[in-house]
Amino acid sequence: MEHRIVVLGAGYTGAAAAGRIAKRLHREGVTITLVTAEPDFVERVRLHQLAAGQDLKPRPFDEMFAGTGVELKLAKVTAVDVDRKTVAVAAATGSGREELAYDTLVYALGSGWNDGGVPGTAAHAHEISSRPGALRLRDRLAALDAGGTVVVVGGGLTGLEAATEIAEARPDLAVSLAARGGLGDWLSEKGRTHLRKVVDKLGVTVHEHAAVEAVEADRVVTAEGRTVPADVTVWTTGFAVHPIAGATTLELADDGRIVVDSTMRSVSHPDVYAVGDAAMALGPGDKPLRMSCASGVPMAWQAADAIAARLAGTKVPHISIRYAQQCVSLGRGEALIQFVTADDRAVDKALTGRMAARYKELICKAAAWGVANPTLGMPSRRHRVVGQEARNPAPVEAAA
């Protein structure tokens, strides 16, 4: 009987995991099903560009995975039963419903925007954590007359990229950024100086130490009672994990992420692996890996290699997941590459200006190219799945 591998979600991590498993395992004895509600790959790291009016290159999954042995299923995941080892899905088009059985599950449903429970956010703010959200914001900005006001709430990487991209694309708008802390306060001195220079050049008004406590139709209200006019509010204060895992018996962290060991395997259910924003994994210094493409893709590689090794009865490899830089685009012609320690703390070294913009663009293209060519460099001899009795025992490891 074939070993059934089901991968849920086809963002950077799910698509990378499915392609790498196909690259590692011989097709005989295994089926790989990739479940996605989107027919095209979404470059999430470029959604601020989409929102600002730019068009992104289409990347259809059926072309990307043609000939790889990965079966695509266009459907929305509605439930996961890790005790019965089944996944309930609804057809992406139409009303058909289906139940998929698995032997190994890779959970990569990722995250969405997090309104933090702030009053008025869900009703009045826009998000750019999804393609539909970015397209809604794109339409709203296109309809905004000159002199309109845009407030981006959140001073992290997404907020900085959104504010500068919009300000560059629409210099006729009054764009401001509301940050809970200081502008780029986690960056090195060189990084903070360059960031300040760029936002000033683009005319972005920065409200520092301004925690937003309410969003209204035409303004945001800070904890100090200040109001900032906002014809459009963009909310970028963080991510919330997909809620499906919360309805299972999987062991979860306080934030809803699935607790995994160093091979990205669930500490409670050894036939389930979790990668990307859905997983709580520890990196250097025993610090949780942050929700990001920089964390997610190596996590996907680790999970795929571990699955292939365990099914083939070979030694499980371990990938070192560590950080090297934080890449922030600041419009099309500017960027900031902040170099960091392995555990993601800024060091006194940064790349700025046009060279940094080229660097960031190269990284974005490389990430998309890697997903679009999932089995490139496929070994001439891939591992065959062996019987259960021939596999390594591989007990569940402690989270690491």
Give 340-366 pLDDT, tens digit per residue.
Answer: 999 999 999 999 999 999 999 999 999
Q: Is the pLDDT of residue 380 over 60?
A: no
pLDDT recorded at residue 176: 98
Instruction: Give the pLDDT confidence of 1-29 residue by residue, as tens digits.
Output: 899 999 999 999 999 999 999 999 988 88
Q: Using one digit for the tens of pLDDT, what is the confidence trace for 170-204?
A: 999 999 999 999 999 999 999 999 999 999 999 99
The amino acid that residue 297 corresponds to is V
SS (H, E, C) 18-85: HHHHHHHECCCCEEEEEEECCCECCCHHHHHHHHCCCCCCCCEHHHHCCCCCEEEEEEEEEEEECCCC
| Mean pLDDT calculated for residue range 311-335 | 94
In whole angstroms, what is the distance from residue 224 CA to residue 212 CA? 9
**Structure confidence at residue 390 (pLDDT):** 53
Whether the per-residue pLDDT at 397 is higher than 70: the answer is no
Decide if 91 contacts 97 (C-beta within 8 A): yes
Q: Report which of 221, 291, 198, 253 is spatially closest to residue 399, judged by C-alpha positions.
A: 253
- pLDDT on residue 96: 82
pLDDT of residue 344: 95
Per-residue pLDDT at 92 exceeds 90? no
128 vs 123: CA distance, rounded Å: 15
Q: What is the pLDDT of residue 388?
A: 62
Residues in the chain: 400
Vertex 182, ends 179 and 187: CA angle to 5°?
A: 110
φ, ψ at 110 (rounded to 5°):
70, -145
Question: What's phi and psi for 347, nearest 5 deg?
Answer: -110, 170
Please determine, for residue 62, whether its predicted confidence score (pLDDT) is greater than 60. Answer: yes
Residue 392 has pLDDT above 80, yes or no: no
What's the pTM value of the predicted model, to 2 decimals? Answer: 0.92
* Distance of alpha carbon 376 from alpha carbon 345, whole angstroms: 33
Most confidently modeled of 222-226, 267-271, 291-295?
Answer: 267-271
What are the pLDDT digits (tens) for 247-281? 999 999 999 999 999 999 999 999 999 999 999 99
pLDDT at 389 over 60: no
